[in-house]
Amino acid sequence: MKAEISALVDDELAPESAGPVFEALRRDPELRGRWDCYHLVGDVLRLTPALSPGFSANVMCRVAREAPVLAPMASIKPVQGRLRAALSLAAAAMGMGVVAWVALSTNGGQPGRVAEARSAPSAPSAPSATAVPARSAPALQHGAIKEYLLAHQAYSPSNRIQGVAPAVRTVSEIRQDARK
């Protein structure tokens, strides 16, 4: 193991071999002493002056009094990168889906509602005492509903795009009136 530590000091250890060496260094104070010593030898040969005895021990005593650091962000960084890309794609797809759903429910749903509205007048929801006779209903409803729709077009479901649908309908009514 000491030979591996020596290679690790020189950055010449294969990445797959580093993990076990780090584990051994964590467990064995004798090996940590070797790590210190190998660095010291290199520093002395490069004429770096020595420190006061106990320098690193003092640092580690202070570190030991600190709250434990638990921040594994860096270790999951590559996973985060891939996850972030996948989430971005998923968010984009969901966004497009929402837009498509809104568009279909706004525009695509309209013909169905119109068809329902067209068939509705001949099928009253509930019988009432004031109900008009069946034969005269279409003639009465034609004029009454037209006026009703004109008066209440601002509240109609087709008014989602403000200013456009009401104008189209109004022009259409004016033409019908003009022909008459």
Partner 1 sequence: MGDREIDQQLVERAQRGDQRAFGLLVSKYQRRLVRLLSRLIRDSAEVEDVAQEAFVKAYRALPSFRGESAFYTWLYRIGVNTAKNYLVSQGRRAPTATGVDSAEAETFDDGDQLRDNNTPERILLSKQIGETVNAAMEQLPEDLRTAILLREIEGMSYEDIAKAMDCPIGTVRSRIFRAREAVSEKLKPLLDTAPDRRW
Sequence-distant (≥ 6) Cβ neighbours of residue 122 within 8 angstroms: 137, 138
Instruction: Specify the residue, 51 or 102, whose C-beta has the smaller distance to partner 1.
Output: 51
Q: Are 166 and 153 in contact (CB under 8 A)?
A: yes
Name which of 49 and 163 has its Cβ closer to partner 1. Answer: 49
**Window 34 to 53, contacts with partner 1 (CB under 8 A):** 34-53
Q: Does residue number 1 form part of the binding site for partner 1 (CB under 8 A)?
A: no
Task: Show the tokens assigned to 66.
Answer: 């600190």
**Rounded to whole angstroms, how far apart are CA atoms 8 and 10?**
5
Out of 20, 56, 93, 145, the only residue in the binding site for partner 1 (CB under 8 A) is: 56
> Under the criterion CB under 8 A, does residue 20 sit at the interface with partner 1?
no
Provide the minimum distance between the beta carbon of 17 and partner 1 in the complex, in angstroms, as a whole number. Answer: 8
Q: Work out how close the CB of 85 gets to partner 1 at its nearest, in angstroms, rounded to a whole number.
A: 18
Number of residues this chain uses to bind partner 1 (CB under 8 A): 61
HEC string of 18-87?
A: HHHHHHHHHHCHHHHHHHHHHHHHHHHHCCCCCCCCCHHHHHHHHHHHCCCCCCCCHHHHHHHHHHHHHH
Give the nearer residue to partner 1 in terms of CB position, either 33 or 97.
33
Residues 76-135 that bind partner 1 (CB under 8 A): 77
Indicate whether 15 belongs to the interface with partner 1 (CB under 8 A): yes
Q: Which is nearer to partner 1, 11 or 177 (CB)?
A: 11
Q: Measured from the CB of residue 83, what is the shortest distance to partner 1 in angstroms?
A: 16
Question: In this structure, are residues 139 and 151 in contact, taking their beta carbons and an 8 Å threshold?
Answer: no
Spatial neighbors of 153 by CB under 8 A, at least 6 apart, are 159, 166, 169, 170
The residues binding partner 1 (CB under 8 A) are 2-3, 6-15, 18-19, 22, 25-26, 29, 32-64, 66, 68-75, 77
